[in-house]
Structure 1
């Protein structure tokens, strides 16, 4: 549920009054239920109570007063009737962040000089809601008082609360967690990466690519005020996207688009061969038929075409009207429609996507869009993966062994989050390497061709299976969930 909440709340997703209620009422209850003190900490508190060193006899709803005659604080228990006295009062609460009221001079001075400003959730026929955190881009750069982005500075943690629902206390290891993606995105902004050989740090770059795609590929912002049509007007902001970065396949945009156009033609040709009966046949994806795959591709291509059209106008709009539930419902409701109708839907979607991408200017891929609060470039990468992987799912001629080196390298880099700890993946034909092994610990070695590694990590069939520690009979490690 946290991921759903993040998508709903971040960057003014709630109305001002709803946001105020969410942070003031819902979040405290959520934190107590989901992020309360650990068992170890509460065992220590229990031991202190039993030993008489901690007194909780005032009970729930305790009230504090000053006893001037005794010169002490008095704690009254309205439920228990107990009264206890203390000579020292410790305020142990962690107060919410407010840049303007911070006791240290850093944030008030930054505000006074206009280098940062507080974020406001604009009210529609109601007052704005100003939680206290800074106005930040998805890459954690502050927005100045004059609307410019102060790109040399990044913030993470309490200053980001408000515009984002950061929740660092909810962080879980070995999970595709939004806080991990936030931190990776922040690292990119704070410490830009250098192009290096493919074998160096590929796992980190692969995970970082996921973080970048999740909240912006290395630099664009997604912010602005809502208009009457439920879209957002977005200022164009410069980015530092390296389109040829290793984790993006090491090829430039024109070459990647050429591969995507070729995938479209293969899709059109493949779908033309699918019969009515063939559309109802199951594919290897659990619970899906070819019809499920076709309507999913048709809807997603139209959705990404809409992202491009709105981005070109300086606006953003949600990927699917009604979000992922609508997307899932349409797949279930429409997958068994006649094959001719499914063909038409897919062709219309592919054509719309091609036309919308052809209309983009030279800076088009850097424009903000609503897909994971990212530059539009993230949709190009996502569609590259989706179109190629799902063509294989259709099982009508195209197989994973025909994937390009660039796509295969990108797929592995994108999905390194699926690898359990202690692994080293090595592509024996290209020398590329991805590692999740801790330093000084002997790793489990998984070797195979680059394409076979890509097929394995994304769950697609391939005639050659990677080998574990040189033993063809050894079982491959179990992968983590798909991100």
Structure 2
């Protein structure tokens, strides 16, 4: 069954949306992103899934298996938020990696079916969430060792996973295809996160139609371009070809995104 939300979850009786000031996207973008990704996956045969992705060392089969396991992992967090009982994303890093490696060896039809089934499980977890569960704190990461976050943020984490990894498949869907609302939020989130890190070089970002952002003080380099081009460069999904650099020269070397 194709994953689809029948209603929009609420927080404090208000629909969650990108523009409502809440911390989660509406359910609609997650549904649409899921359907786009599954439609792409369904066009790939075994040979197509064996081709390399943009993720170093991973084939397309690895990426799609990871996306399915991420749906299960985030369903665990939603269950935790719903019940208050700790339910980590993964038992360990080793278990997470083993599941991906094992799953990537499956035939294409089985991988696509797994995407459907895991997406349906995520839908059920969302639909079962009571309003107060969206505010309950859970923890990301293997064995719940990551930072705390409210249950409402899980929908955003899922949307980000779907959009970025769809582009990682190298099948024609790329940063230019990301929805504008997703790009705005992901870019804002990435700029703020990079601004708190000491390993990010000082750079001024001139984002077309969105103003200027500063990473660090007294940046010697200015990088400009469309929001999706700047975002894809910041998160390591492009080389930055086509971005403007002043003074002319090479783009600054960036650390890993997450």
TM-score range, shorter chain: 0.7 to 0.9
Query: Is the 1:400–1:455 Cα contact (8 Å) retained in structure 2?
Result: yes
Q: Does 1:436 align with 2:215?
A: yes
Q: 2:236 aligns with which of 449, 452, 459?
A: 459
The DSSP-based 3-state class of the residue aligned with 1:316 is coil
Post-superposition Cα deviations, 1:271-300, rounded to whole Å, max 9, x if no partner, equal: 111111101111121111011001100111
Which is higher, the Rg of structure 1 or of structure 2?
1
Aligned to 1:351: 120
Q: Does 1:423 align with 2:203?
A: yes
The DSSP-based 3-state class of the residue aligned with 2:210 is coil
Aligned to 2:143: none
Aligned to 2:95: 326
Alignment CA distance shift 1:254-1:478 (3 Å): closer
Post-superposition Cα deviations, 1:218-256, rounded to whole Å, max 9, x if no partner, equal: xxxxxxxxxxxxxxxxxxxx99xxx77xxx787657853
Query: Is the 2:54–2:170 Cα contact (8 Å) retained in structure 1?
Result: no
Q: Distance in 1 between matches of 2:99 and 2:25?
A: 33
Matches within 5 A, 1:16-415: 252=22, 256-321=26-91, 323-371=92-140, 372=146, 373-415=148-190
Q: Distance in 2 between matches of 1:395 and 1:442?
A: 33
Alignment CA distance shift 1:442-1:462 (3 Å): closer
Unmatched 5+ stretches in structure 2 = 1-10, 141-145
Post-superposition Cα deviations, 1:370-392, rounded to whole Å, max 9, x if no partner, equal: 32332112322221111100011
The size of the alignment, in residue pairs, is 234
Q: Which has the higher contact order (CA 8 A, sep 6+)?
A: 2
Alignment CA distance shift 1:463-1:404 (3 Å): farther
Q: Which has the larger displacement, 408-417 or 323-332?
A: 408-417
The DSSP-based 3-state class of the residue aligned with 1:435 is strand
The DSSP-based 3-state class of the residue aligned with 1:363 is helix
Alignment CA distance shift 1:398-1:404 (3 Å): same
Q: Distance in 2 between matches of 1:333 and 1:309?
A: 25
Q: Distance in 2 between matches of 1:272 and 1:406?
A: 26
Q: Distance in 2 between matches of 1:279 and 1:442?
A: 42
TM-score, scaled relative to structure 1? 0.45
Query: Is the 1:456–1:465 Cα contact (8 Å) retained in structure 2?
Result: no
Post-superposition Cα deviations, 1:282-326, rounded to whole Å, max 9, x if no partner, equal: 1121111011001100111011112212321122211112x2221
TM-score, scaled relative to structure 2? 0.81
Q: 2:245 aligns with which of 468, 471, 474?
A: 468
